Chain A
Amino acid sequence: MGDLVNPRVGRLARRGDLNRGPVLEFLAFVLDGELYAVQLTKIREILSPPPITEVPRSAPEILGVCSVRGLLVTVIDLRRRLGVTAATVSRRSRILLAESDQGEVIGLLVDEVRQVIRLSESDVELASAVLGGDVAEHFIGIGRAPGAEFILLDLASVVPA
C-alpha cells in the first residue's frame, strides 16, 4: 500500500503532529471527480475488481456478488449508494473491503484510490456545521489536508446493517 501514500502530504501531516493532538489515518479515493476519505482502520483490503455476478431483484446500488479467495462478498456501487450517478468500472476502479457491524464483509466500488492522509481533530470540520439535513447522515465532515479537502465518509452509514 506504500505507493498509495503521497510522501509530501504524509510529511506535512507528520510535522503538524507535534502540537495538534491525536492523528487519524484516512484513505482517500475518488467518486465522480470528488475526493472522499474513510478511516483507514475500517478498510480490510483494496482489490482490483474481480468478475462481479449481478444479483437480480436486489437493490439498485448493489452491483452483485464476487468471490474473494473463497469468501462471498456483496459489492455496493458507492456512487449510487451516495446518490451520485451509477459507476462504470474502469482500469482504475477499486473495491474497498469493509466489515459491517454484523460482521458481513462488504465491497465498495470506487472510481480510484488516491492516498493515505493523516488528519487531527482540528483538521476536521464536522458535517453538522457544514452540511444540513439528509446529506449529513453519511458524512462525518470535511477534512482539510494541505492542498486538498476531502469529504469524510461515515462507513457504518453506507454499509448495510
Chain B
Amino acid sequence: MIEITDKTRDEFFSEAQEIIETLSRNLLSIDAMEKQGRTDPSLVNEAFRAVHTLKGLAGLFGATRIGSISHTLEDLLDDVRLGRQPLTVAVLDVLFVAVEAYHRLLAAEKSSTDEPIPVLDELLTRLAAIGGAVPSRPTQQDEYDLDPGMLAVLTEYEEHRLRSNIEQGLNLYRLRVAFDLNTIDKALEEIKDRAKLHGEIITYLPTGDVGGGDTIDLDLMMASSEDLAVLVGALGADNIVIEAVPRRRRPTVRPMGVPAVAVVIEQSEPAPAAGGGLSVRREDEVPVPVVEHHEASLRSVTQTVRVDIRKLDHLMNIVGELAIVRSALSRLAERLRAEGQRQFGSELMRMHRSFDRRLAELQDGILEVRMVPLGQVFDRLARVVRQISRDAGKEIRLVITGAETEIDKLIVEELSDPLMHMIRNAIDHGIEKSDVRASVGKPTAGTIALNAFQKGNHVMIEIEDDGAGIDEAVLLTKAVAMGKVGTAEASDLSRDELLALIFLPGLSTRDAASDLSGRGVGMDVVKTNIGKLGGVIDVQSERGIGTKLTITLPITLAIVSALIVDVAGRTYAIPLATVSEAIRLDESGVRVVDGREVMTLRGSTLPLCRLHRLLRLDVPPGWRRQFVVVAAVGNRRLGLVVDDLFGQQDIVIKPLGRSLREVRGFSGATELGDQRVGLVIDAAALIDELLTGFETRERSGGRRWVTS
C-alpha cells in the first residue's frame, strides 16, 4: 500500500470518478447498440478494463468495498467479453446499478463513513442471481488454415472473438500492413478505425520479417461479412495487402509464410479450462516462434492534465493581486507626470499598458482552463433517464444537443442535481404513458430534448419534453388550497403567472407522491439552486404539446462585473447580473405600504430596502441617501437604497468562510485594492428574505401580483 496523503487521496477520488464516468458512458453506448440488436465487443472490453483499473486503484487506497464489488464485476464482465455470459438486458441493468453503487461508495469513502448502502445490497443480490448461468454454446465447426505463431499467442479473449466470428459465419482475412515506425501508433489506430466499419480486427502481430529501414510489417487478423473485393476496395492501400484466410481442405496456399495448421473450433464438453474449446492440431511439429504480444497500449494518448480547481482559484487570486499592482502602477505614473517627471511618467505608463494587456490575457487563459463541456453532466443524466424511464414504464428518447458547450467547472458540479430533478419531472409528470400518447396520435416514445448553447456571456440550457404540458388549472387549485393565492386574484393571473406557480414551495401536481419526484420538494429548490449560481429559470408550456424549461447561467463565477456602492461609509459590491438599473432616490415619492417603503417606478410598485438599516450600520450625521439600485432576479424586483455609486469593476468573488455561513445577504467578499476587502451583496438572497410574505400581503390588498 502506498502512503496516503490528502493529495494522493484527492487524486484517487478524481481518477476513480473519471473511470466511473467513462464506464457509465460506455454502458450507455452498449445499451444503445443493444437496442438496435448490435454489440460492439470493444466497448465490453473497455468496460472490463475500467472495472479492472478501478479494482487496482481501490486496492492501492484500501477502499475495500469498491475493491470487492470491482472484483465481482470484473468476473462478470470477463465472462461477458469471453462469451461465457450473454449480454442480456438483465446484465446491463446490473451494470447500471453498479455504476450507481460506485458513486455512492465513492461518496461514502470520501466522507470516510461506512454506513450501509442500500443500492450495494441490491447489486450483490442481482449479481448473485446472474452468476453461474453459463449457457451452452451451439456446436459449430469450421476450419481455417491459420498461422500457429498467431494462434499460440491469442489471448483468451481473442480466441473467443475468433470463435464467435467464425460461428457467425464470417470470413477471416489477413491484412499485412507495412507501417512506418515513426507513425505506427497513429496509423494502426487509423486502420483499426476504418476496419471497424467492415468487421472486427481480432488480433495483430508483427510478421517477424524485418522490413527495410524504418518500416515494420504487421499481420492483422480480421473477421468480416464482406467479400475480399469489397474489403480491398475499402481498405486497400499501397502498404496494405489483404488476403482471405483459406478454409481447410481447400487448395492450400501456405498463407502466412510458415507451415499451416488447422484450427478446429469445437464444442468443449465439460469446459476444461476457462474458455477452452479451441484446439490446435498441428500437421507437423513446428517450433512456435515467440512473439511479443501487443497489449492495448496503456500509455495515455491524450495530452491533458488533471488539475485541482483550487489550484486554479489560487492562480485567479494571484491575478486579482496583480490587478491591484496594476492600478498602483497607473497611479504612480500619473503622479510622476503631475510632478513634472514627464519622461519617467510616460515610460511607466507604457509599461503599465503592456502589463495590463498581458494580465488580461492571463486572466482569460485561466478562465478558459476552468471551462468544461456540459457533456460531463449530460452523460450522467442520460443514465438516469434510462433508469427512470424503465421504472416508470415509459419509453423515452433523450436527444442531447450542444453537449460541447463549455461552462465553469464549479457551475457544472452544481447543475447536476437541479437538472436531474427537472428531467425526473419531465418523465414523471410530463411524458404520458404510451397508450395515452397513441390515443392522441403522438409517437409512443416520448422525447426529452436537452439543448445547451452559448448566448453572449451566458449559457442557456433547455429541457423540453413533448408530454402533456402543465395543467395550470390544477396548479391554481393547489395554490389556492395552500393559501398561496387568494381566490379573489386567482382569476386575474395571466398564463405566465400561473405557470410560475410551479416554483412555489410545497407545490406538486401529483397527489400521490411518487418514487420519482413529487413529495413537495420540487421546482422551488431547483429555482433556488439555479439562483445560487447566478442563473434564472423560465417555464413555457402548452397543453397537449409539451413543456420547456429554460435555464440561463453565467459562463463563469470566477469573475463578475459589479457595481461598487457606498452604504454609510462602507463599500459594497453588487453583481451587475442582478442589477437592472440605478436611479436617484426621490424621497417625496416614497410611500409606506403595510409597514414597508415602496416607490413607483414606471407605473409599477417597487419595494425598497434601505441597506444601512437592514445591515444596522451607523450613519454619520448629515448623511443623505441618494440612490436606488434596482435589483432584479427572475421577475422579482427590489430597490436597494445606497448612499453613493462608485462605478463598475470586475471582481473576483471569494466565498466567506464556514464560520460566517449563518450570515445572510452576502455571496462573498472581494478585494478592492489597498488591501481592503468589500462584501458582495447577494441580491437574490435579499429579495427572498425581504419579499417573501410581503408579496402575499400586498396581493391581498388588491394590488397587482408582483412576483413569480
Contact = CB atoms under 8 A, between A and B. Distances in A.
Given A66-B677, A70-B318, A56 B617 contact: yes
Interface string B668-695: 1101001111110000000000000000
B669 A65 contact: yes
Contact of B676 (A53, A56, A104): A53
A104 B663 CA distance: 16
Given A72-B654, A104-B658, A57 B665 contact: yes
Interface string B300-337: 00000000000000100110110000000000000000
B676 A51 contact: yes
A159 B659 CA distance: 9
Interface in A73-132: 73-74, 76, 100, 102, 104-106
A58 interface: yes
Among A53, A73, A102, max chain B CB count under 10 A is at A53
Interface residues of B, number: 30
A50 B675 contact: yes
A50 B679 CA distance: 16
Contact of B657 (A50, A57, A74): A74
Contacts, number: 79
A100 B318 contact: no
A72 B653 CA distance: 10
Given A53-B678, A54-B570, A74 B659 contact: yes
A11 interface: no
Contact of B664 (A57, A76, A100, A159): A57
Contacts of A76: 659
A65 B655 CA distance: 11
A4 interface: no
Interface in A21-39: none
Contact of A67 (B318, B656, B658, B677): B677
B570 A62 contact: no
Nearest to B567: A56
A57 B646 CA distance: 24
A69 B320 CA distance: 10
A71 B656 CA distance: 10
Contacts of A71: 317
B659 A104 contact: yes
Contacts of B656: 55, 65, 72, 74
A105 B660 CA distance: 12
Interface of A is mostly: loop
A160 interface: yes
Contact of A57 (B314, B615, B674, B678): B615
Nearest to B320: A70
B126 to A, nearest CB: 38
Interface of B is mostly: mixed
B677 A160 contact: no
A58 B654 contact: no
B659 A100 contact: yes
A56 B664 CA distance: 9
A53 B679 contact: yes
B428 to A, nearest CB: 37
Nearest to A66: B677
Contacts of A50: 675
Interface range, A side: 20 to 34
Contacts of A54: 570
A104 to B, nearest CB: 4
B557 to A, nearest CB: 15
Nearest to A56: B615
A55 B658 contact: no
Given A51-B675, A54-B570, A56-B617, A72 B658 contact: no
A123 to B, nearest CB: 32
A51 B82 CA distance: 69
B309 to A, nearest CB: 15
B666 interface: yes
B110 to A, nearest CB: 14
Contacts of B663: 55-58
B616 to A, nearest CB: 6
Contacts of A51: 674-677
Contacts of A104: 657-659
B24 to A, nearest CB: 30
A1 B137 CA distance: 79
Contacts of A58: 660, 662-663
A55 B675 contact: no
B580 to A, nearest CB: 24
A105 to B, nearest CB: 8
A76 B659 CA distance: 10
A160 B616 contact: no
Contacts of A102: 658
Contacts of B615: 56-57
Nearest to A106: B659
A72 B651 CA distance: 14
Contacts of A67: 671, 675, 677
B329 to A, nearest CB: 18
B701 to A, nearest CB: 29
A106 B657 CA distance: 9
A70 B320 CA distance: 8
Nearest to A54: B570
Nearest to A64: B677
Nearest to A103: B658
Contacts of A159: 659
A69 B322 CA distance: 11
Contacts of A74: 656-657, 659-660
A159 B657 CA distance: 12
A69 B675 CA distance: 9
Contacts of B671: 67, 70
A100 B314 CA distance: 20
Contacts of A160: 658-659
B676 A62 contact: no
A102 to B, nearest CB: 5
Contact of B679 (A55, A70, A73): A55
B677 A62 contact: no
A57 B36 CA distance: 61
A59 B663 CA distance: 9
Contacts of A161: 658
B616 A57 contact: yes
Interface string A150-161: 000000000111
A65 B320 CA distance: 17
A76 B657 CA distance: 12
A84 to B, nearest CB: 20
Contacts of A106: 657, 659
Nearest to B316: A70
Given A62-B659, A70-B671, A72-B654, A56 B320 contact: no
Contacts of B668: 72
Interface in B214-248: none
Contacts of B662: 58-59
Given A65-B656, A70-B320, A72-B668, 5 more contacts: A56-B617, A56-B665, A72-B657, A73-B657, A102-B658
19 contacts: A51-B676, A51-B677, A53-B570, A53-B677, A56-B616, A57-B663, A57-B664, A65-B669, A65-B679, A66-B675, A67-B675, A70-B320, A72-B668, A72-B677, A74-B656, A74-B660, A105-B657, A160-B658, A160-B659
Task: Sort A-B residue pairs by CB-CB distance and give the 3 closest, nearest first.
Answer: A70-B317, A56-B615, A160-B659
